[in-house]
Amino acid sequence: MYLILFGAPGVGKGTQAKILSQKFSIPHISTGDILREASKNGTPMGLEAKKIMNAGQLVPDEIMVEIIRETLAEERCKNGFILDGYPRTTAQAESLNRLFKKLNISDYALVCLNANDDEIVKRLTARRTCKSCGTIFSLSEIENAVNCPVCKAENSFYQRKDDSEEVIRTRLEVFQSSTKPVKNFYKNENKLIEINGLNSIEDVTNEIIIGLEKTFSKKELFH
């Protein structure tokens, strides 16, 4: 089973990716992680991507899709994967489609987590990060706490710039203008599963599984 997790920043893709990865025993492939890994490993594409990123530029689609191809061809991905962070544009979706055909991947779906912008802003502005260990918490998790629950550092909570309302609104505008059309692309391909991302973590997971059961056979879900 091959999944693409899709949705606006802060909608909960990373959380669901970890849950689904464990449930179905397939790897979570974060494009941010594989870019860093390719750069660290010094592959030709990784070195090229590193040079581009160090210059503060976006990695071109042709390099990105080649790094993804190298990752998806690995042994760990032979029974499926969860792709998170790609595609972000319809051009990337088209490139990924061509890659899937080369890899003989046809049983895939795009799981789209939907949420309104105001709720996402509310969620993300309520996040705090520990300066010491980098763990991210919601305000409700650390209410009245002085020490970090993970590393026990004292008075270490702060709000990252990325979690300010101004930055979040800008990111959401980018998503709406360039990334949301990807959903329509997969809808036209009959590969779209839409999920209410505003529900609890457990309910979102259950809704995803119900959607997958309607799309894939049990053999594909639990190979």
Residues with a catalytic annotation lie at 13, 88, 127, 160, 171
Contact 166, 181 (CB under 8 A): no
Quick count: other Cβ atoms within 10 Å of Cβ 168? Answer: 21
116: left (phi over 0), alpha (psi -120 to 50) or beta: beta
Q: Which residues, 6 or more positions from 113, have their beta carbon under 8 angstroms from its beta carbon?
A: 5, 6, 7, 11, 12, 13, 16, 195, 197, 204
- Crossing angle for the helix pair 90-102 and 181-188, to the nearest 10 degrees: 40
In sequence order, what DSSP letters do the residues of 36-58 get, joined into one string? HHHHHHT-HHHHHHHHHHHTT-P
Continuous H helices in 25-180 = 31-41, 44-54, 61-72, 90-102, 117-125, 165-174
